[in-house]
Amino acid sequence: MNKYTKSIFEYNNGQVGYDLQNNKIDYDVQRIINNQKREKELTLPSASELEVIRHYTNLSQKNFGVESGFYPLGSCTMKYNPKINELVSSFENFATSHPLLNEKYNQGSLKIYYDVCNLLCNITGMKAFSLNPYAGAHGELVGLMLIKQYHMNKKDYKRNKIIIPDSAHGTNPASASVCGFDTIKITSNEDGRINLDSLKKALNDEIAGIMLTNPNTMGMFEKDILEISKLVHQAGGLLYYDGANLNALLGKVKPADMGFDVMHINIHKTFSTPHGGGGPGSGPVGVNDKLVDLLPDPKVSFDGKKYHAIENSKKSIGRISTFYGNFAVNIKAYAYILSLGQEYLGSVANMAVLNANYIKESLKDYYDLVINEACKHEVVFNGLKTNPNNIKTLDISKKLLDYGYHAPTIYFPLIIEQALMIEPTETESKATLDEFISVMIRIAKEAIDNPDLLLNAPQNTYIKRIDEVSAARHPILKYKDIKDAKG
């Protein structure tokens, strides 16, 4: 992982593993429109089959994933996804079915779509689901479009503001503004719970709704949720539930019972699809009675005998994706939910919460625990507890890389200055947690006795500490060809 390995662009020694011309591909250069012809000769790598294999193998080993080590990234739920779900979703009959086939040939796929919606309804208490959105943020956008349409249908055109607490995930205000809403930020208390006075002041007849997550981004359960839902509903607004991370609630509490009208789920966090690196994901949107008719098309219905694809339903907001979203991802959720069953879904929540609390209790003498009460699936520390050398959360996380761990989420939620947000997830064993805890304690001691170890970390990785600001402002995302750079 740490040694320098050649990139494929550096192989240029005349070796050829595969040649288009030898395969007599008939490419008609004349047909390329003139202004699309390259002016400079294309510098392609030339590499043998073995070199190509080495390139890709080395690339794959540069990655750090759940399958290479512990990955306690708060709010992202990087848990292990059983391989059986991958296998099921790649069955040939799923992989080769096409949404444009006559529905009589697609009964199995339509049934799965229908069943997954029902399973998600049971889990969340919602009335109906659409599996069409591709990701969490896409689900948020769709949910907000539904809220918007709901007010439009009531000719309540003034409602163009969405309330969002300052502890929210960044996608919440982003989705609200993409949907054309103004966002009203309200302050939360130090534990991330909503400040009721701040909420009451924000409520008026221009409020379309509020976006919340529960447990909140501090890992705390919002105890006032029923009061919050009453206040928002009385003011004529709707409640949006950011259900990206449902593992703390599975089989325990239903968002619909908390008063939420619309929500999304991240299948790629809670329901067993690997994520990171851009997908594919799935962000199903669930709604209660108020919004059922507005759900996007296509939908699936069942008449007791056959499944039907519904297009162009009268009140729908229309299509928000091609066909049925990322269908294969939703098959993985189907396999995952059915293999656990009602009984064991609850144990996901038990283990997620137990693991987070085990880490919280084991580290609270060394790291500054923000809220000293039981957390849900994740725990937030505000840097070190004893910190004579002014070590930052960034230094701690860089040192973790030296010890072979992926760093936790840092500097989020924004309300905690030196936030270090750890989510162990339910799939890790006690032995793994114990090892991580001992490394975290070791780092806390090094921070006092030998701070340079942290300030100069990481040392064991190929790339040492980078300049975070220029990496963000001037990212170089492609291999720079030396000839191009000169010429």
**Shortest Cβ 283–ligand PLP spacing (Å):** 6
> By CB under 6 A, is residue 75 in contact with ligand PLP?
yes
> By CB under 6 A, is residue 161 in contact with ligand PLP?
no
**Shortest Cβ 178–ligand PLP spacing (Å):** 12
The amino acid that residue 16 corresponds to is V
> By CB under 6 A, is residue 151 in contact with ligand PLP?
no
Residue nearest ligand PLP (C-beta atom): 136
Instruction: Give the C-alpha separation, 262 to 242, whole Å.
Output: 9
Instruction: Give the C-alpha separation, 216 to 226, whole Å.
Output: 15
Give the burial class of 140: count Cβ atoms within 10 A of its Cβ; 0-12 exposed, 13-18 middle, 19 or more buried: buried
Interacting span for ligand PLP (CB under 6 A) from 28-36, 229-237, 240-248, 351-359? 240-248
- Number of shown-chain residues binding ligand PLP (CB under 6 A): 14
Q: Among 55, 169, 299, 376, which residue interacts with ligand PLP (rule: CB under 6 A)?
A: 169
Q: Compare residues 135 and 210 and give the one whose CB is closer to ligand PLP.
A: 135
Could you tell me how many residues make up the chain?
487
> By CB under 6 A, is residue 266 in contact with ligand PLP?
yes
Residue 286: strand pairing partners: 129, 263
> By CB under 6 A, is residue 274 in contact with ligand PLP?
no
**Shortest Cβ 461–ligand PLP spacing (Å):** 25
> By CB under 6 A, is residue 216 in contact with ligand PLP?
no
Q: Among 171, 214, 216, 355, which residue interacts with ligand PLP (rule: CB under 6 A)?
A: 171
> By CB under 6 A, is residue 242 in contact with ligand PLP?
yes
Both tokens of 299, joined, read 């939908």
Q: Compare residues 220 and 447 and give the one whose CB is closer to ligand PLP.
A: 220
Convert residues 184-213 into a mask of x (bound to ligand PLP by CB under 6 A) and - (unbound): -----------------------------x
> By CB under 6 A, is residue 281 in contact with ligand PLP?
yes
**Shortest Cβ 348–ligand PLP spacing (Å):** 17
Interacting span for ligand PLP (CB under 6 A) from 150-158, 203-211, 237-245, 324-332? 237-245
Q: Compare residues 231 and 421 and give the one whose CB is closer to ligand PLP.
A: 421
Q: Compare residues 244 and 391 and give the one whose CB is closer to ligand PLP.
A: 244
3-state secondary structure 120-133: HHHHHCCCEEECCC
**Shortest Cβ 74–ligand PLP spacing (Å):** 9
Closest CA to 96 of 270, 423, 327: 327
**Shortest Cβ 136–ligand PLP spacing (Å):** 2
> By CB under 6 A, is residue 418 in contact with ligand PLP?
no
- How many whole angstroms from its chain centre is CA 250? 17
The amino acid that residue 399 corresponds to is K
Q: Among 45, 136, 298, 325, which residue interacts with ligand PLP (rule: CB under 6 A)?
A: 136
Q: Compare residues 266 and 288 and give the one whose CB is closer to ligand PLP.
A: 266
Q: Among 120, 137, 300, 422, which residue interacts with ligand PLP (rule: CB under 6 A)?
A: 137
> By CB under 6 A, is residue 222 in contact with ligand PLP?
no
Both tokens of 419, joined, read 């936030």
Q: Compare residues 266 and 397 and give the one whose CB is closer to ligand PLP.
A: 266
Residues in touch with ligand PLP (CB under 6 A): 75-76, 135-137, 169, 171, 213, 242, 244-245, 266, 281, 283
